[in-house]
Amino acid sequence: MNLYLKYGKRTLDIFLSCFAFILFLPMFILILLAYAVTFSFPVFYRQERIGKNRKSFMLVKFRSLERSVIVVGEEYQQRHHHQRRFWLGDILRFTSLDELPQIFQVLAGQMSWVGPRPLPIEYLSLFSEEQHQRHTVLPGITGWAQVNGRNSIGWSRKFELDNYYVKHVSPTLDLMILVMTVGLLFSFKKDVSLGEGKFTGN
């Protein structure tokens, strides 16, 4: 393990998280107020995800979709993602502000600013040993796959990019990914995350 991965990366994560907390504190407050005045509860979305060394943790985001279940008589029906959209969630996803709570997860050591995006725990048994290499580092808020196609590329390509990152972790690569992420945020590209298919192990 190189010195950056062992010591420097965590230092960078803490510094960036403290800076981001101060910078985005007014945005945190505005978002919380928007949920409150529109009675859009719950505020947060939690899902069990795969973390470093295949250990699970609860990923936290600002909720950007309505609840997934509706009651029709005595039957429960799952609604499609596009049927669950609401205006505040659309804004948060479009600007990636729904990810802001993960700043605290970086501070807690559950995530890093840069790393493979954490995937749902239900995928754990579907990975090959090669694909599991992505779980040898902390999952990230952004990553090499996110700045090289994100949801427009297939799962195999994502895992190739994740494994490339794991093998080449360095301060230069992390800073480049962070700069590219800022560029993508200001490009205001259409959010296509709701159309992403599930990973099936192929």
The pTM assigned to this predicted structure is: 0.87
Q: At what angle do helices 171-185 and 9-37 cross, to 10 degrees?
A: 20
* Within-domain flag for 160: yes
Residue 143 maps to a domain: yes
Q: Is residue 56 included in any domain, yes or no?
A: yes
Asked if residues 112 and 106 have their Cβ atoms less than 8 Å apart, the reply is yes
- Where in the sequence is the domain holding 90, given as residue range(s)? 3-189
- Count CA within 13 A, CB hemisphere, residue 51: 14
Is 201 a domain residue? no
In a domain, 47, yes or no: yes
Residue 176 lies in a domain: yes
Digit-coded pLDDT (tens) for 25-79 = 999 999 999 999 988 889 999 999 999 999 999 999 999 887 654 444 545 445 5
Burial of 90 per CB tally in 10 Å (0-12, 13-18, 19+): middle
Query: Using one digit for the tens of pLDDT, what is the confidence trace for 99-154?
Result: 999 999 999 999 999 999 999 999 999 999 999 999 999 999 999 999 998 778 89
Q: Has residue 195 been placed in a domain?
A: no
Is 148 a member of any domain? Answer: yes
Amino acid identity at 75: E
The number of distinct structural domains making up the chain is 1
